[in-house]
Structure 1
């Protein structure tokens, strides 16, 4: 093999990423028969089978895994080059596509993105919310520039991604004023058998909160699971139960929803991360998000 055919290598890489020729053909906009023929040509050029078919699935051979490792590096670099070229010249509007985990409070999401909006140049911002795993897949496919999340993505599943720790916050418990005042005394034992409003979006800090309560021997009464961060606070304001939120937005939660803080729990942390395709942050907006310390005191915004 005197010269590697990068187009064939790219076809192989997409097939590996998508898991089947049928799905890869949709991404590449090629007929499955054409793509299958290109793969066969590439296998002949490298001197061995790259895939085996097991139960209607394509499984990489040892040679396939070896080639895939190099392909990941090659196309990561070409992706970085493409991103860099896309950013020039500097006077063009900077497009920023950000994926935001649905479990992150909307006010916190704004604070995380705000450094990019403060760059002093026109920003075309596209925000998409969803599950972290789905957003990580979109990031890998270059549909997003960055993913903001409150959980570590499965790096083994999604390939070479880079995780940037951003900020952390303790978790506080809130309730309508009469209930909050009654529960402050003797905390946390005062929470035993009290009504609890749970996050239904699989928020990582909520699981940590449940573990902390269990260690304290406290069992609360679950009255509702709510997958909307605003609705759970409205229920709390109406006195239906206790709810949790990051302490960094305590003042806004209390002001906006007319509730009071019961207590802050330092042992339970809400950790936030930015996920990128590479550690080399060519995108100016992504670099600002990943490298600028988050200042939660700079603005006061209503929470939704």
Structure 2
């Protein structure tokens, strides 16, 4: 960047857009001679010609096309930024980049992010789903503003982050109507060797659920392991097995996926956290996400 003259790059970009030095000079309020000299200086600094003359017009060389592509991206972005900066600070859109652990149920993730979108000020939301460790790395590097997760950061990294408890829900079991009716009879013994749809992710509630199955003497027959909570519900709707989801979203799960509630398990809970950098954030949208959610408590 120290060797790149951005003013010369901008003038080159305008010339390329206008197709002639005369029209570009008029737009930039410069003399054609001055602009031509600047272009020659810029080409000399790059060590390559950016234009060739053809029929009294300027045409980009292959090298010039490459430079123009980058310049086009840069100055279009700069123009968009300029438009935003012209707005009063209170009217500028808030940018909110949220990392969502893949092990969190999608309906829960929506409920957690929805309040930020209800602010009077416009919020431009970017959501990234993935492994919690990778999301925390991106949070530390300021690529994300907050991470929504079902676990707290490792103790070795606790000093770099601040963890905010958002809510806790017991877990419930769901299944397609015919299977649900069978499982509700003589519950929980009815679960023995029935097909179970498990998440392949290392979700804390899955470990707790497996311990609960063991305490009840239930032999678990895993019909499928799926790393997408929404896809598990689709398999469940088709009758391939029963699955677990937070009781807090019981009605939405039943309505959206046409399944039925089998039972709630008070001993197995999912606790949700919002993790921010230790120094916090002045972003009003982030502050909205950090509030505890009574509606997530069952």
Structure 1-normalised TM-score? 0.66
How far apart are residue 230 of structure 1 and its match?
Answer: 2.0
What do the CA deviations read for 1:24-52 (whole angstroms, capped 9, x no partner)?
xxxxxxxxxxxxxxxxxxxxxxxxxxxxx
Q: How many residues align?
A: 210
- Matched with 2:161 is 161
- Report SS of the residue matched to 1:219: coil
Q: Contact 2:169–2:296 at 8 Å: present in 1 too?
A: no
Distance 1:292-1:205 versus aligned 2 partners, 3 A rule? closer
Distance 1:248-1:110 versus aligned 2 partners, 3 A rule? same
- Report SS of the residue matched to 1:295: helix
- Matched with 1:110 is 110
Q: Contact 1:235–1:241 at 8 Å: present in 2 too?
A: yes
- Matched with 1:186 is 186
How far apart are residue 91 of structure 1 and its match?
Answer: 2.1
Counterpart check, 1:259 vs 2:271: no
What do the CA deviations read for 1:240-269 (whole angstroms, capped 9, x no partner)?
111111111111111122111110001100
- Matched with 1:91 is 91
- Matched with 2:150 is 150
- Matched with 1:245 is 245
- Matched with 1:302 is none
Distance 1:106-1:294 versus aligned 2 partners, 3 A rule? farther
- Report SS of the residue matched to 2:295: coil
- Matched with 1:140 is 140
Structure 2-normalised TM-score? 0.67
Counterpart check, 1:202 vs 2:202: yes
Structure showing greater Rg:
2
Q: Contact 1:233–1:257 at 8 Å: present in 2 too?
A: yes
How far apart are residue 272 of structure 1 and its match?
Answer: 0.4
Q: Contact 2:168–2:296 at 8 Å: present in 1 too?
A: no
Runs of 4+ in structure 1 off by over 4 angstroms are none
Q: Contact 1:163–1:274 at 8 Å: present in 2 too?
A: yes
Q: Contact 2:237–2:259 at 8 Å: present in 1 too?
A: yes
CA distance in 2 between partners of 1:213 and 1:174 (Å)? 15
How far apart are residue 287 of structure 1 and its match?
Answer: 0.8
- Report SS of the residue matched to 2:163: strand
How far apart are residue 278 of structure 1 and its match?
Answer: 2.5
CA distance in 2 between partners of 1:125 and 1:254 (Å)? 28
How far apart are residue 239 of structure 1 and its match?
Answer: 1.5
Q: Contact 1:162–1:278 at 8 Å: present in 2 too?
A: yes
How far apart are residue 279 of structure 1 and its match?
Answer: 5.8
- Report SS of the residue matched to 2:230: helix
CA distance in 1 between partners of 2:144 and 2:228 (Å)? 24
CA distance in 1 between partners of 2:295 and 2:113 (Å)? 11
Q: Contact 2:248–2:295 at 8 Å: present in 1 too?
A: no
Give unmatched runs, 5+ long, in structure 1.
1-87, 298-304
- Report SS of the residue matched to 2:143: coil
